[in-house]
Structure 1
């Protein structure tokens, strides 16, 4: 018997995918990655591990380390410091909450690529660096929709925020 699609059928919400145990692993990985960004923000802002005189809140520059790397002209510029710190805070909050995971993966990947370029030349070779690993990890979190489990991704899902 042939079943045709009726208006009642089309109005039904599609069934949600079941949550698998691996989805929880990705959710925890997303929260851990967000915590890394939040810790970097708090440390650079208040000097918890960073020397206090270099902390942003006390007049230091969170981008001062790139003076010796591949992008010295950008180091210490107030607008670069502000964007960098806003990025760390925003990436961290979004990842911990599980929102805008794809946007964070894109913007965070670009930020990490710039940080990688600023660190050149690297003693272990150009590809054996934590920023490359973090960027790949962010891409994976976006692809597997890690914000949907243990996060608000499903709740606030919009085409531009996924």
Structure 2
């Protein structure tokens, strides 16, 4: 015997799904923010994920010479291995210490903003710009580089996800300090701070 579903049951399910979507968008925003914040912490003190792990023994040497607090040039290795038509530009940037400061402040600012849900517009666009530069420094379309797809890699997907999620969440942020942040007079005057 077939079970009949009433309009009320369908409406209830749709309402539940409408509440669930924004929650998962917020969780994804926080996750992307944590990727940036973790990269900052790893490069700052050497937590052993991309910094300060011995290649042979796999042992982690916190605050090794590659950690930023120990004087390590954190952008030199990544930018030094650039490929594609802009490789020379990116390699020369890797030799300049100001790029370490810009990169680290960017990682920290983007990470905290996306996790807390404040300043998310500017954080999303800064994330997209940083990830875009990382993409063209290594995976120039058609050239390859450190990717399994000649045109699309995780940098592009994270960049589009960050911007897309933030702009959808402007209408309804489920998790974060965004609601309180938007009530501040300076944020009301300068909507780019949302």
TMscore range, shorter length: 0.7 to 0.9
CA distance in 2, matches of 1:53, 1:114: 26
Aligned residue in 1 for 2:74: 62
Greater alpha carbon shift after TM alignment, 132-141 vs 122-131: 122-131
Aligned residue in 2 for 1:102: 121
1:44-94 deviation line (CA, Å, top 9, x unaligned):
111111122211111111212111202101003111100100000000100
Q: TM-score w.r.t. structure 2 length?
A: 0.69
- The runs of 5 or more residues in structure 2 that have no matched partner are 1-17, 53-63
Aligned residue in 2 for 1:43: 42
CA distance in 2, matches of 1:53, 1:78: 15
CA distance in 1, matches of 2:117, 2:94: 31
CA distance in 1, matches of 2:150, 2:40: 25
How far is 1:28 from its partner? 0.8
Q: TM-score w.r.t. structure 1 length?
A: 0.82
DSSP 3-state at the match of 2:28: helix
Of the three residues 179, 182, 186, the one matched with 1:154 is 179
Aligned residue in 2 for 1:76: 95
DSSP 3-state at the match of 1:60: coil
- The runs of 5 or more residues in structure 1 that have no matched partner are 1-18
